[in-house]
């Protein structure tokens, strides 16, 4: 008889936190700024929701402004590794890998 384990083991190295906070980003060192939403964040990546259709390999300078006075802004360089269009809207979710955190 085959036994199936019901235990789940997290395969990720970093915990993923679901959020919904505004962010700003520039694309491939361009001065033009775009707005989006951070949908989840981990030590390894950011899930960004935006109306701009990004491409795999795009490099973003991402800034998440503080939402409270004691918080610092979060700033990082991230590379787009996955793009998914959202249903019935011109909105895309871009999975990114954090390449460098900027302090």
pLDDT digits (tens, 9 = 90+) for 31-68: 999 999 999 988 899 999 999 999 999 999 999 988 77
| CB within 8 Å of 11: residues ≥ 6 apart | none
What's the rounded Cα separation, in Å, for the pair 23 and 47?
A: 11
pTM of the model: 0.79
What's the rounded Cα separation, in Å, for the pair 97 and 47?
A: 9
Contact between 73 and 66 under an 8 Å Cβ cutoff? The reply is yes
Domains of the chain: 17-102 (2.40.10.220)
| More confidently predicted of 8 and 62 | 62
* Distance, CA of 94 to chain centre: 7
């Amino acid at each position: 008889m085959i036994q199936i384990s019901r235990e789940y083991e997290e395969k990720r190295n970093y915990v993923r936190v679901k959020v919904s906070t505004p962010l700003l980003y520039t694309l491939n060192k361009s001065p033009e700024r775009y707005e989006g939403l951070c949908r989840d964040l981990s030590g390894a990546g950011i899930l960004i929701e935006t109306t701009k259709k990004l491409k795999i390999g795009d490099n973003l300078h991402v800034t998440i402004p503080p939402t409270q006075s004691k918080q610092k802004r979060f700033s990082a360089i991230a590379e787009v590794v996955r793009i998914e269009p959202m249903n019935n809207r011109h909105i895309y979710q871009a999975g990114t890998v954090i390449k460098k955190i900027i302090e």
